Amino acid sequence: MASLQDQLLNAGLAKKSDAKKIKRQKHKAKKLQQTQKVEVVDEAKLAAEAAIQAKKEKDAQLAAEQARLREQKELVAQVKQLIQSNIQTYKEGDIPLNFTDENFVKRMYVTEATQKLVVQARLAIAKHADGYVLIPTPVADKIAQRLPEFIVYRADDTVDEATTEQDHWYADYDIPDDLVW
């Protein structure tokens, strides 16, 4: 295959005199570099190397961003699969189960048994598709480790020390904690 210079000459896009002039300049620069150990600065080569380096950095940033997005999608898929495979079916009852989601109070109507399971922290409420579902608390803990925004409500098992001290004062009184207003 002929050189680019030959191809341009054959196509009539370059003149023979220009080709000879460029060839002489390259030869002089090469000879000067060899004899005098002078570093000839090729600005075009430096610009090309800088452009290549910038492209590599940009490609690395894009690859990192794509990897981060891919990992995020994988996490969302894992969470959705965990929720889908662990949905606890419940009968719709007449007891409202109130919870907050993004500063909005939401309500599910459940039976008394289901409400007790939620209050006892055996079930948690998670987002699923356009609604909310009940899932076991251990599964909710796994989901909360990955993407906590999918868990809408989970009863806390921890009890404050101040609460236990206050409970001693009221130990003689029976106070229902599931009042319906």
Q: Tell me, yes or no, if the pTM score tops 0.85.
A: no
pLDDT reading at 55 higher than 90: yes
Q: Which among 111, 143, 112 has a CA at the least distance from the CA of 125?
A: 143
pLDDT for residue 54: 93
Task: Give residue-wise pLDDT tens across range 102-150.
Answer: 889 999 999 999 999 999 999 999 999 889 999 999 999 999 999 999 9
40/56 Cα distance (integer angstroms): 26
* pLDDT band at 169; cut points 50, 70, 90: low
**Tokens standing for residue 120:** 């006892």
Residue whose entry in the numeric block shows the structure tokens 């889908």: 84
Q: Region 27-34: what's the mean pLDDT?
A: 81
* pLDDT band at 158; cut points 50, 70, 90: very low
